[in-house]
Each structure stands twice: as structure tokens, then as C-alpha cells.
Homo-oligomer: A and B are copies of this chain.
């Protein structure tokens, strides 16, 4: 059983890496098998199809993602902490499941099942309801009209920053001197301030980041 589990996990891990690296279509079962140290046929003992394997690669990330907003520790009282915590959790997910999210964001549009899985996780009724309720508790938010859309877009913004930091190497020859390597803590603080106060306003005294020394994933 341990051997079997080992094989399955080796397959998934290798496939995830390859799918993220070269794309789903450009990755062959044969490559995945070689990476896992198995024969092609062996893959099909664990997965019915290449697509099944794709879904399996991404599932843990979506499961983890689903738990994000349910967690009790999101129930913080002030908007700044709430916003930062949300970003922090999201960034932690991007760290932990970087490859999976890379796969998701590039393949989901072309794969109906993946798209469905992603939507059902990200846009589940429960999540939306819980998120909306939390937000409605904050009076400081002045412009709610597109709050949902804006928050969603900031997730992609955060992803794009995280992703760019990860491919700095590939960008080096195109970027003048390499993008600023900002620490996670600084990035989170900056984004929190940005979301709350934009680029022109100073954060209110006493709300500044110095108080945020909490651990990070």
C-alpha cells in the first residue's frame, strides 16, 4: 500500500511539475511516466485518463482554497487586519500550490471540467455568502459598488506579482536590472495599504505595518 501510494504521489507530483512547466497538451504521458520512474501503462492503474490526472494535480490546491474563508481566524474586527489576513492567506496558498495555480490559470479556460472544478470551489455559494457577510460589517468601505469584482481582481493582481517574482530568471534579460525583490511581508503590507488607501493617501496613524510581525507561510 505504501508502495502504491508512493507511485500515485510520484505521478501526480511529476505531472504537476510538467503541466505547469510545459502546459497540459504539450506534456505527454510518456514523459510523466519517465519522471515518475514508471512505464506508461502504469499511469493508467491510478488514473483513467490524462484529464483525470490533470484534475488530480489541481485538486489539493482547490481543497485548500476552499478552506480559506471558512477558517475562524478570519473573524477579525478591523478592516485592515481582515484585508491583510485575506491577502496573506491567499499568498500562502499561492506559495504552497504555486504549480497548481499556474496550471489552473492557464488550462481552466480550455478544459470544461477544470473550469467547473475551479468555479465550484472559488465561486461556491458558501464562500460568497460568507465573504459578503464579513464585508458588510465594515463601515469604512466607502465604495462598495464593485467591491466583489475589485477584490476578485486583486487576487489576480496578487497572483501576477507572485508569478512575476517566480519567473524573475526568465525575465532578467528583458528587465533593466531585475524587479525589486520584495519580501512577502512587505508585499502584503504594501498591498493592504494600496487596497485600503490607494497610492496617494497615507494610512491613518497607528494602523501601520509595524504592528504586523506575525508568522507567514
Contact A199 B190 (CB under 8 A): no
- Chain B hits for A174, CB < 8 A: 116, 119-120, 123
Contact of A25 among B26, B125, B180 (CB under 8 A): B26
Name the residue of chain B whose CB is nearest to the CB of A139.
B200
Name the residue of chain B whose CB is nearest to the CB of A144.
B216
Q: Least Cβ distance of A39 to chain B in Å?
A: 13
Q: Does A49 count as interface, using CB distance less than 8 angstroms?
A: no
A90, B149: Cα distance in complex, Å:
18
Contact B164 A149 (CB under 8 A): yes
Q: Hey, what's the 0/1 contact readout for A171-182 against B, CB within 8 Å counting as 1? A: 100111001101
Contact B214 A145 (CB under 8 A): yes
- Chain B hits for A154, CB < 8 A: 157
A38, B111: Cα distance in complex, Å:
28
Contact of A106 among B110, B125, B150, B216 (CB under 8 A): B110
Q: Does A6 count as interface, using CB distance less than 8 angstroms?
A: no
Chain A residues packing against B (C-beta within 8 Å) = 22-23, 25-26, 79, 102, 106, 109-110, 115-116, 119-120, 123, 125, 128, 132, 135, 140-150, 152-154, 156-161, 164, 167, 170-171, 174-176, 179-180, 182, 186-187, 190-191, 193-202, 212-217
A120, B164: Cα distance in complex, Å:
15
Name the residue of chain B whose CB is nearest to the CB of A160.
B156
Give 12 pairs: A residue, B residue, CB < 8 Å, sorted on A: A22-B110, A102-B109, A140-B200, A145-B216, A147-B199, A148-B179, A149-B182, A152-B161, A153-B157, A156-B159, A195-B199, A197-B198
A189, B142: Cα distance in complex, Å:
14
A123, B148: Cα distance in complex, Å:
30
A161, B155: Cα distance in complex, Å:
11
Contact A152 B180 (CB under 8 A): no
- Chain B hits for A160, CB < 8 A: 152-153, 156-157
Contact A196 B187 (CB under 8 A): no
